[in-house]
Amino acid sequence: MRLNVIMKKYRKERNLTQEQIANYLGVTAPAVNKWENGNSYPDITLLAPLARVLKIDVDTLLSFHEELTEAEINQFVKELSEILQKDGYATGFEKGVQMLEEYPNCDLLRLHTAEILNAFLILKKIENPEKYQNRIIGWLEMVLTSEDEKIVNMATTALVSYFMSRGDYEKAQLQLDKIPPASFDKQITQAILFEKQSRMEEALEVYENIIYKNANGVSSILHMISHILCQEKKFEQAEKYANLARDISILLELGDYNAYTSKFMLAVKMQDKEGTIEMLEHMINGCETIYSYQNAFLYSHMQFNKTVNTDTITDMLKNSLKTSEELDFIRNEPKAQKLFDRLK
């Protein structure tokens, strides 16, 4: 936390007003207000008196025991892991407690300490685990008050796993609901939670949704990379990405239209008549089967929106192919004319 946040936090905890702080330090109330708003900082000579009136030490006021770097935290966790393995769980647990007492405001350290102690508690089958579990869960719950959303989500996920391991699925779900819906971790954890409750169909649907969304995402990114390389006339590299986009779309059952979009674009950019005509046929076939993924084995547990007017979308795709000026260079080719006739 920044100095202004710490000042405000402890002032309120001590039930002091800004005016009382100002009187104690011999400054004006507006000056204290500016400090708390982060618009200015107290003179260095006022830090010790300010800490005394807030009943904290200067280290706490300046976040000395909070602002650890990620490298420092990783080193602490490594040392803790070594102690747990060499000296036993009880010794390692006490070391963890000491670390958190020394750096009581470091949420990330508290999170990682709780995670590693909990992992060893499960893996090593420690006797009387309840002796340690309540403290560990208490630390994770403390992290839930962090200002860092990512750390909060990580702590919440850890709590979900803990409650699932105990068969307390209701508490697990309550914790899981706190994680934003877009979080990848939440989707995976939700599927695991469904499986634990023998709700297999729901678990499979979650997993298939993840596959479907990520398949489309990867395919689209590969297409965009291929497009950029085409713009730079790096056709050999573009073809590699186009082939990857095709292979992924076929493997993950996204349909021919999606599979051959990049290959079609590449052939057009290269003014390759034979290749363009071949890809045009794939695209026309793809238009007619664009929703085939809805019946694919890979997505058999998913519920798709059946109210979409597929004929309208198919007609739009076909019309874009029929009227595209980029295809004028093949329009007089006999094979191409037969394909264009299919679009009418």
> Is the distance from CB of 279 to CB of 260 less than 8 angstroms?
yes
> Is the distance from CB of 157 to CB of 114 less than 8 angstroms?
no
Cα dist. 303→82, 186, 203, 294, 311 in Å?
Answer: 48, 20, 13, 8, 20
- CA-to-CA distance for 159 and 175, rounded, in angstroms? 7
**Burial grade of 251 (CB within 10 A; 0-12, 13-18, 19 or more):** exposed
- CA-to-CA distance for 238 and 260, rounded, in angstroms? 13
Helix 200-231 / helix 256-269 crossing angle, nearest 10 deg: 10
Stated pTM of the model: 0.61
CA dihedral defined by 278, 281, 287, 292, rounded to 10 degrees? -80
User: What are the structural domains, with CATH classification, of the chain?
Assistant: 3-61 (1.10.260.40), 217-343 (no CATH)
Cα dist. 302→168, 203, 210, 259, 298 in Å?
Answer: 27, 11, 11, 21, 9
- pLDDT tens-place values along the chain, 344 residues long: 567 888 888 899 889 999 999 988 889 999 999 998 888 888 888 888 888 888 888 777 776 555 677 888 888 888 998 898 889 899 999 999 988 887 777 889 999 999 999 888 877 777 788 889 889 999 999 999 888 888 998 999 899 988 998 899 999 999 888 887 765 568 888 999 999 999 999 999 999 999 999 999 999 999 999 999 999 999 999 999 999 999 999 999 998 888 999 999 999 999 999 999 999 888 888 887 888 888 899 999 998 865 445 566 667 667 777 778 888 899 888 998 888 888 76
